[in-house]
Amino acid sequence: MESLLFQPLVDALASDQPQSVAEAANLFNAADLAEFIEQNIENEAGRYVFQNLPLTLRAKVLGYTTPDTQLLLTEATPLAELSILTAEMPSDDRVDFFNLLEESRQKQLLRKLDQEDRDVLTALLAHAEGTAGSLMSTDYAVFESGITASEAIDILRKTAENKETIYQSYVIDGHGVLIGVVSLRRLIVAKPDTLIDSLLATGLVSARTDTSQDDVARLITKYDLLALPILDHHDRLAGIITYDDAMDVIEAEATEDIHKGGSVSNLDTGITTASPFSLYRSRIQWLVILVFANIFTGAGIAHFEDIIGAHLALLFFMPLLVASAGNAGAQSATLVVRGIATGDVVNRDWIRLFNKELIVATALGLTMALTVWTVGVFRTELAIATTVAITMIAVVLAGGLIGILLPLLLNRLGVDPAAASIPLITTIADVSGVMIYFSIATIILGP
């Protein structure tokens, strides 16, 4: 399917004519061109296509590529050309790209930029990573209070091409303080001499430059916004964050949480472009930690070797019980971690969640206990079957409560609750399950 999609570009490359490549590239949007370049970056076809794109399109395509590809595509670009390319990029993409460069090249590039572009870039770079200020764009449509609808439309005609969106334009006073927003629809249908102040929507949802990117993404999602205005601490309009940038944040956060949930450290790139060493480094730390954690499971088994030696049938059910404890913990942890991430769960909910999990886990444990007791009666003696059934209730209850409480505890301590990864939860539940199982066996079956 992909080869058919890009066939015009493939044919143009076969002709080895830059003009043909540029004409074929015009048939595609920037995102598709970025995909083709990513797929062919290693065989030079990707770089050849990129270098033969018009400058404006090249800037758009660059914003859709991964950080590693951006560096590969621009490493040999002369500084004068790189400054023009950077100036053509949207302001938020410009910041991301600039941060990829080495410090010496950053300084050289800054000196080459126009004063206006340099000031904008410097201002955006001043905001801390992970905040709204570091994500926002300064390419927004803005009017000063007091102009007419006709004058506003004339301004849009002249500036719209370089704006992130013109469906909503922001209105400020003489000090740059945000007053309200006017939609393109209202401007079009209004009489030409209507003052835009009478067309404003006020009471806007907004955020501050130091608001976290996660909170910004939640606001945009909650209110279905095309763009969210970002204000400084004097209520002056500093920039906007569009819904597509918010979706990028949500995707990045979801990826990070999934990695943490699997005890994998963050990858700077995707799995297809990551080096074997990067993949090794992202996984080895937690695997080693979990090796030491699982030693406690072995120690627990060794501690109860007498009861195990007297009733070898207990070993038949141990994997089942230990796995059930881990699975119950993993399920409850997944629900809580996701609830915290979406804002549905806060720390003060712990008592309510604890009580609810007591009921749910007990019900789950009883259901599973009945099943395993039935198997146990046919497989071994009644006393062992009863031991296994009682243990099933206890370990499912313990696993569920661990899965509920550990993420909440980490969140209370200021640690990302996603660090309560599934392997970590299951390991703790495994150790607990072994201790609970053989303790109950000792009580029922005797020493």
Residue 356 sits in a domain whose CATH number is 1.10.357.20
Q: Domain for residue 134, yes or no?
A: no
Q: Domain for residue 186, yes or no?
A: yes
Residues 434 and 334 both lie in one domain = yes
Residues 312 and 424 both lie in one domain = yes
Q: With left for phi above 0 and alpha for psi between -120 and 50, is residue 105 left, alpha or beta?
A: alpha
Residues 280 and 410 both lie in one domain = yes
Q: Domain for residue 233, yes or no?
A: yes
Q: Which residues pair with 212 in a beta bridge?
A: 131
Q: Domain for residue 71, yes or no?
A: yes
Q: Domain for residue 26, yes or no?
A: yes
Asked if residue 222 lies in contact with residue 171, where contact means CB atoms within 8 angstroms, the answer is no
Q: What's the chain's Rg over C-alpha atoms?
A: 30
Residues 118 and 146 both lie in one domain = no
Q: Domain for residue 265, yes or no?
A: no
In the chain, the number of structural domains is 3
Tell me, what CATH number does 79's domain have?
Answer: 1.25.60.10
Residues 110 and 152 both lie in one domain = no
Residues 31 and 84 both lie in one domain = yes
CA distance 199 to 368: 63
Tell me, what CATH number does 151's domain have?
Answer: 3.10.580.10
Q: Domain for residue 104, yes or no?
A: yes
Determine the structural domain holding residue 107 and report its residue range.
Answer: 2-126
Residues 13 and 38 both lie in one domain = yes
Residues 170 and 213 both lie in one domain = yes
Supply the pLDDT for residue 260: 64
Residues 168 and 239 both lie in one domain = yes
Task: Determine which helix (DSSP H) or strand (DSSP E) holds 307, and give its type and residue range.
Answer: helix 305-310
Supply the pLDDT for residue 335: 87
Residues 70 and 154 both lie in one domain = no
pTM, two decimals, is 0.67
Among 126, 155, 180, residue at a domain's last position: 126
Mean pLDDT of residues grouped by 10 in the chain (447 residues)? 73 85 88 89 86 88 88 88 88 88 90 88 89 92 94 92 88 93 94 94 90 90 90 93 86 71 62 70 73 76 84 87 88 85 82 92 93 87 91 93 88 76 78 89 83
Supply the pLDDT for residue 270: 63
Supply the pLDDT for residue 1: 38
Residues 434 and 309 both lie in one domain = yes
Tokens of 58: 């090249």
Instruction: Spell out the SS3 assignment of 320-386.
Output: HHHHHHHHHHHHHHHHHHHHHHHCCCCHHHHHHHHHHHHHHHHHHHHHHHHHHHHHHHHHCCHHHHH
Asked if residue 67 lies in contact with residue 116, where contact means CB atoms within 8 angstroms, the answer is no
Supply the pLDDT for residue 419: 63
Residues 235 and 182 both lie in one domain = yes
Supply the pLDDT for residue 297: 76
Q: Domain for residue 217, yes or no?
A: yes
DSSP state of 240: E
